[in-house]
Amino acid sequence: MKHASHFIWGPSKSFHNSCLECFYSQHGQNNSINDKILLIKKYLAKQQYYKCAICKMEFIEINKSHLDHDHNTGKIRGLLCFHCNTGLGYFKDNIDSLQNAILYITYNNEIREDILKINELNKLRIKIRKKYVRVGQ
């Protein structure tokens, strides 16, 4: 079987291109579309060590994984968990938006770390003031 990324998921929810010939020769044409999808999922799962291609969460049930595909070309990209597949869907596969999200999270994590440092410094100042006031009384 050729690499699964050669399969194309078409608008009619069917696979098409030359790789299908290989697929049919191995699995027969009489299988339902769901059987074919499950076979491709099993193939991809093995290639991905039974983990989501993005977050690396292990798949417990292959049939609950999501067959990710490029909505413009129809090419299958890999298997994703529900959350990663939904996330890509909400970002509409827009690389600029995804990069902006990474920058947003990174920037806010840095700010959060700075706030935590400031909070720790303020707690230390309060301890020092309390100690100083007690000594001075």
Which residues lie across from 22 on neighbouring strands? none
Task: Quick: pLDDT tens for 85-103.
Answer: 999 999 998 999 999 998 8
- pLDDT for res 73: 86
Phi and psi at residue 101, to the nearest 5°: -65, -40
Instruction: State the CATH architecture for 4-90.
Output: 3-Layer(aba) Sandwich (3.40)
The residue extents of the domains of the chain are 4-90, 94-137
- Mean pLDDT, the chain, rounded, equals 77
The span from the CA of 15 to the CA of 67, in Å, is 12
